[in-house]
């Protein structure tokens, strides 16, 4: 297919080079041709290592080993050169203190965990030594962070919340007697309830702009022993929502970006949940099973009062029910909701005043609870409209 300005091929030709022929529109007897060689579009060389992160015991009388795997794309030469070094520039291990790795990607751990406790294992392409990839190793005989809860939030939080580090070989204590959590290298007031859990509180001032913090455990000593550093990510504030509209004719939704808000503890000190609900009548909360069944009025609108009880509930939060054609958790949908505190009943009991009309669509609804920091929990199938 010849176009003004070039030749377009849907696929590489079976014969190469190819002949390109041009015929004059004004005089079809005038023909010109040229020979061209067609080359494929090259894929940039890239290297990847798996697993991306690993926890490896220290070596004792017998070597402690872990196999790593490499993938090279964009080159027929898949060979790599393996190496190890400290994962923290200017700190930590050097030479044999970082362990070793053989030509097959088998890492042998050192006998002592470095401080900071982070080792990089690196695979460098032999076809292009500017291309490499790495994985990080923590030696489990030293202070080791395995999990951070939560590990991310959105910028602009108006309430602080705790961040908990879970791992190994922390020193229990508080007020300077145990391990300390370093935020970007600066110690924060820390409580370590056990040798596996330490906690600090992030403040609204910490959370106003997108950033990535580094969190690290520092065990008391001279010098202190440092764990592997881990990131805490503050994402730009974004509450946009979308619907995955799947049908029998189109069962797959592609090119969708899904952001997971993590977790429901980000605005409060305990997880948000609902543990019981019921109708609210004359300041009496009737604890009932779910779903609560509600009949629509024949005409107009009526107010239905519910009581819900759970961990961390507050009337300043947003309460909304799903409905046909609405995005989950948005308000008001077809059931406007007003929340208020209930005095004289159990703490964390919230009154929800629902506006039910003759046009409210029948069906079972889920209650979504959204905190001031845009963290969300749900009570599935709590209400049925008939």
Q: What confidence tens digit (pLDDT) does each residue in 292-304 have? A: 898 999 999 999 9
pLDDT at 3: 42
Mean pLDDT rounded to a whole number for the chain: 85
Q: What's the DSSP call for residue 27?
A: -
pLDDT at 244: 77
HSE-CB for 243 with a 13 A CA cutoff: 12
pLDDT over 80 (residue 381): yes
Q: How confident is the model at residue 267 (pLDDT cuts 50, 70, 90)?
A: very low
pLDDT at 2: 38
Above pLDDT 90, what percent of the chain? 49
pLDDT at 333: 74
Q: How confident is the model at residue 38 (pLDDT cuts 50, 70, 90)?
A: low
pLDDT at 125: 97
pLDDT over 50 (residue 79): yes
Higher confidence at residue 102 or residue 314?
Answer: 102
Q: For 158-192, how does the pLDDT look when each residue is reduced to its tens digit (9 = 90+)?
A: 888 889 999 999 999 988 899 999 999 999 999 99
Average confidence (pLDDT) over 138-147: 96
Flag whether the pTM goes above 0.85.
Answer: no
pLDDT at 377: 82
Alpha-carbon separation of residue 247 from 104, 163, 242, 254 (angstroms): 48, 41, 16, 13
HSE-CB for 121 with a 13 A CA cutoff: 33
Q: How confident is the model at residue 211 (pLDDT cuts 50, 70, 90)?
A: very high
Higher confidence at residue 26 or residue 133?
Answer: 133
pLDDT at 371: 78
Strands 276-281 and 284-288: antiparallel
> From CA 23, how far away is CA 332, in angstroms rounded?
66
- Domains identified in the chain and CATH numbers: 46-139 (2.60.40.10), 144-235 (2.60.40.10), 276-385 (2.60.40)
Higher confidence at residue 129 or residue 235?
Answer: 129
């Amino acid at each position: 297919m010849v176009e003004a300005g070039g030749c377009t091929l849907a696929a590489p030709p079976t014969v190469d080079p190819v002949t390109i022929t041009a015929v004059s529109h004004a005089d079809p007897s005038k023909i010109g041709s040229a020979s061209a060689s067609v080359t494929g579009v090259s894929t940039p060389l890239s290297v990847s290592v798996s697993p991306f992160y690993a926890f490896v015991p220290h070596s004792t009388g017998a070597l402690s080993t872990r196999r790593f795997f490499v993938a090279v794309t964009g080159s027929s030469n898949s060979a790599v050169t393996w190496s190890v070094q400290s994962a923290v520039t200017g700190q930590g291990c050097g030479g044999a203190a970082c362990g070793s790795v053989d030509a097959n990607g088998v890492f042998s751990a050192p006998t002592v965990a470095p401080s900071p406790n982070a080792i990089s294992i690196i695979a460098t392409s032999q076809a292009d030594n500017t291309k490499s990839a790495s994985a990080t190793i923590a030696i489990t005989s030293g202070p080791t962070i395995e999990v951070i809860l939560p590990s991310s939030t959105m910028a602009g939080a108006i309430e602080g919340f705790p961040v908990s580090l879970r791992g190994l070989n922390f020193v229990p204590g508080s007020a300077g007697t145990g391990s300390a959590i370093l935020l970007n290298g600066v110690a924060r007031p820390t409580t370590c309830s056990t040798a596996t859990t330490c906690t600090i509180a992030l403040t609204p001032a910490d959370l106003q702009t997108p950033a990535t913090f580094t969190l690290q455990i520092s065990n008391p000593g001279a010098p202190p022993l440092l764990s592997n550093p881990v990131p805490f990510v503050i994402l730009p504030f974004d509450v946009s929502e979308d619907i995955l509209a799947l049908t029998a004719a189109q069962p797959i939704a592609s090119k969708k970006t899904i952001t997971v808000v993590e977790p429901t503890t980000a605005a409060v000190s305990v997880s948000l949940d609902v543990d019981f609900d019921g109708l609210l009548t004359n300041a009496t909360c009737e604890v009932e099973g779910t779903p609560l069944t509600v009949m629509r009025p024949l005409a107009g609108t009526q107010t239905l009062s519910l009581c819900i009880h759970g961990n961390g509930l507050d009337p300043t939060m947003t309460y909304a029910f799903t409905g046909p054609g609405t995005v989950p958790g948005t308000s008001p949908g077809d059931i406007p909701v007003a929340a208020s505190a209930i005095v004289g009943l159990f703490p964390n009991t919230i009154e929800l005043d629902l506006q039910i009309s003759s046009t409210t669509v029948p069906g079972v609804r889920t209650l979504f609870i959204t905190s001031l920091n845009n963290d969300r929990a749900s009570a599935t199938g709590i209400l049925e409209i008939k």
